[in-house]
C-alpha cells in the first residue's frame, strides 16, 4: 500500500526536511517501508508532493518513477519551503494503471489536496452505484481509472454540496465500506490550514512539534517518541496549534 504524509505548521519547512532527511523519510519508505500489512513490498510506482504557497495555492510535482531515481526532485526538495504539504509514494494496486496522473496528491480547483492509501475491494464493480450518482462530467474528468481518483471525486461532490472536509471524508468512508466491505481507506485531505485523515485498516501516526506544527504520516519518520499511532477506525483533524500545550489534533471514531 502506498505511504502518505501531510504537514501543517506556523513556520515554513523545506520539503526535504520531511520527505528526504528523516531516518525513515518518505524517500526511505519508497524502497523500505516498515508496515505495509501485506499490501505490496515497495512504493516504486511513482510519487507526488503538493505544497501550499504563501498565497495558499497548492503546487504539484508528480512523477511515475520511483522517488529515489529523481535526483532533480531531491535537489528541488531542499530549495522549496512551505507551511503545508501533502506527499505520497505509490504502490499501484494490481489491475490499476501506472501513470503520473494516478499518483497522489490529487488537486481540486478549490485549493485542496487528496491522497488515498489503500484499496477498494471489488473494484470497479463494487463502486458502480456510488459512481452513477456523480455528475457525468466528474466521471469524464477523473484523473485516472483508479479507486483513489473515484474516492476523490466522491469527496469533492460532498464538498460541492456544502459539507466540510471532515464530514465529506467520513461520509465517503461510510458509503464505500457499505458498498465495498473490507476496503482499506486511509484518506488524506489538506487545504493549507487543516489536515483531515482517516485510519481504516491501515497504518497512520501523527506528531506535534514544539512550534505547534503537526505531521501526519503512514509511518513515523523517525524513532522520536512524539509519534502517536492513530487507532484504526478513526478520523483525525489537525491544525497548526500554539505548541504542545495547545492540542492541535482531534481524533474521533468514524
Running DSSP on this structure, what letter comes out for residue 72? H
Question: Smaller CB distance to ligand GLN: residue 47 or 51?
Answer: 47
Q: What's the sign of the alpha-carbon dihedral 74, 76, 82, 88?
A: negative
Q: Is 103 a catalytic residue?
A: no
> Rounded to an integer, what distance in angstroms lies between the CA atom of residue 184 and that of residue 191?
23
Largest CA distance in the chain: 48
> Considering the complex, what minimum distance in angstroms separates the CB of residue 18 from ligand GLN?
19
The pairing of beta strand 106-107 with beta strand 184-190: unpaired
Question: Smaller CB distance to ligand GLN: residue 61 or 192?
Answer: 61
Q: Which of 2, 203, 236, 248 is catalytic?
A: 2
* Contacting positions for ligand GLN (CB under 6 A): 1-2, 39-40, 90-93, 96, 102, 116-119, 146-148
Question: Smaller CB distance to ligand GLN: residue 119 or 213?
Answer: 119
The residue number with the shortest CB distance to ligand GLN is 2
- Reference 230, options 239, 240, 220; nearest CA is 220
> Considering the complex, what minimum distance in angstroms separates the CB of residue 104 from ligand GLN?
7
> Rounded to an integer, what distance in angstroms lies between the CA atom of residue 110 and that of residue 217?
23
> Considering the complex, what minimum distance in angstroms separates the CB of residue 240 from ligand GLN?
27
Active site residue ranges: 2
Amino acid at each position: 500500500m502506498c505511504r502518505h504524509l501531510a504537514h501543517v505548521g506556523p513556520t515554513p519547512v523545506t520539503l526535504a526536511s520531511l520527505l528526504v532527511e528523516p531516518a525513515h523519510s518518505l524517500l526511505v519508505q519508497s524502497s523500505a517501508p516498515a508496515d505495509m500489512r501485506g499490501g505490496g513490498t515497495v512504493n516504486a510506482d511513482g510519487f507526488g508532493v503538493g505544497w501550499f504557497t504563501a498565497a495558499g495555492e497548492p503546487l504539484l510535482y508528480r512523477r511515475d518513477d520511483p522517488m529515489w531515481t529523481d535526483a532533480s526532485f531531491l535537489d528541488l526538495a531542499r530549495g522549496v519551503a512551505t507551511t503545508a504539504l501533502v506527499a505520497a509514494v505509490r504502490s499501484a494496486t494490481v489491475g490499476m494503471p501506472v501513470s503520473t496522473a494516478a499518483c497522489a496528491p490529487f488537486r481540486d480547483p478549490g485549493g485542496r489536496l487528496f491522497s488515498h492509501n489503500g484499496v477498494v475491494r471489488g473494484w470497479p464493480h463494487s463502486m458502480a452505484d456510488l459512481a452513477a450518482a456523480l455528475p457525468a462530467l466528474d466521471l469524464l474528468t477523473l484523473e485516472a481509472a483508479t479507486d483513489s481518483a473515484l474516492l476523490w471525486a466522491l469527496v469533492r461532490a460532498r464538498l460541492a454540496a456544502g459539507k466540510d472536509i471532515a464530514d465529506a471524508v467520513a461520509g465517503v468512508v461510510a458509503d464505500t465500506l457499505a458498498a465495498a466491505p473490507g476496503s482499506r481507506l486511509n484518506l488524506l485531505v489538506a487545504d493549507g490550514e487543516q489536515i483531515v485523515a482517516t485510519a481504516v485498516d491501515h497504518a497512520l501516526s501523527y506528531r506535534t512539534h514544539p512550534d505547534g506544527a503537526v505531521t501526519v504520516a503512514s509511518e513515523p519518520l523517525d524513532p522520536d517518541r512524539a509519534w502517536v499511532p492513530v487507532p484504526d477506525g478513526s478520523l483525525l483533524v489537525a491544525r497548526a496549534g500554539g505548541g504542545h500545550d495547545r492540542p492541535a489534533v482531534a481524533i474521533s471514531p468514524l
